[in-house]
Amino acid sequence: MVFKIMKEQHGYELVLLEGYRSPDRQNMLAGNPNTTRAKGYQSYHQFGLAADVAFKRNGKVVITERDPWAMRGYELYGQVAESVGLTWGGRWKSIKDYGHTEYRMPGLKKTREMADQLIAEI
**Partners of 62 in the β-ladder:** 55
CA distances from 122 to 24, 58, 90, 114 (A): 19, 32, 27, 13
Least separation, in Å, of the C-beta of 10 and Zn ion?
A: 21
CA–CA dist 78, 110 (Å, integer): 24
CA–CA dist 87, 10 (Å, integer): 20
Residue range at the interface with Zn ion (CB under 5 A); choices 52-60, 61-69, 70-78, 103-111: 52-60
Indicate whether 52 belongs to the interface with Zn ion (CB under 5 A). yes
Residue range at the interface with Zn ion (CB under 5 A); choices 4-12, 62-70, 75-83, 100-108: 100-108
Is residue 55 within 8 Å of residue 61, measured between CB atoms?
A: yes
Least separation, in Å, of the C-beta of 58 and Zn ion?
A: 25
- In the complex with Zn ion, the residue whose CB is nearer, 58 or 94, is 94
Q: Interface residues for Zn ion in 6-45 (CB under 5 A)?
A: none
Binding residues (CB under 5 A) for Zn ion: these are: 50, 52, 100
